[in-house]
Homo-oligomer: A and B are copies of this chain.
Amino acid sequence: MELLTRKIEEEGIVLSDQVLKVDSFINHQMDPHLMKEIGWEFARLFKEAGITRILTIESSGIAPAIMAGLALDVPVIFARKRKSLTLTSDLYTATVYSFTKQESNEITVSKKYMKKEDRVLIIDDFLANGQAALGLANIVEQAGATVSGIGILIEKSFQPGAEELIAKGYRVESLARIASLKDGKVTFAPSRQIDSIIAGGY
Q: A-side interface residues toward B, CB under 8 Å?
A: 23-24, 28-33, 35-36, 58-59, 62-63, 66-67, 69-70, 73-78, 80, 109-110, 112-113
Contacts and interface: CB of A to CB of B under 8 A. Distances in A.
A30 B112 contact: no
B66 A28 contact: no
Nearest to A57: B59
A75 B113 contact: no
B58 A23 contact: no
Contact of A76 (B23, B30, B67, B80): B30
A109 to B, nearest CB: 8
Given A58-B59, A59-B58, A78-B59, A66 B112 contact: no
User: Which of A28, A32, A33, A73 is packed against the most chain B CB atoms within 10 Å?
Assistant: A32
B32 A77 contact: no
Contacts of A28: 77-78, 80, 109-110, 113
A10 to B, nearest CB: 14
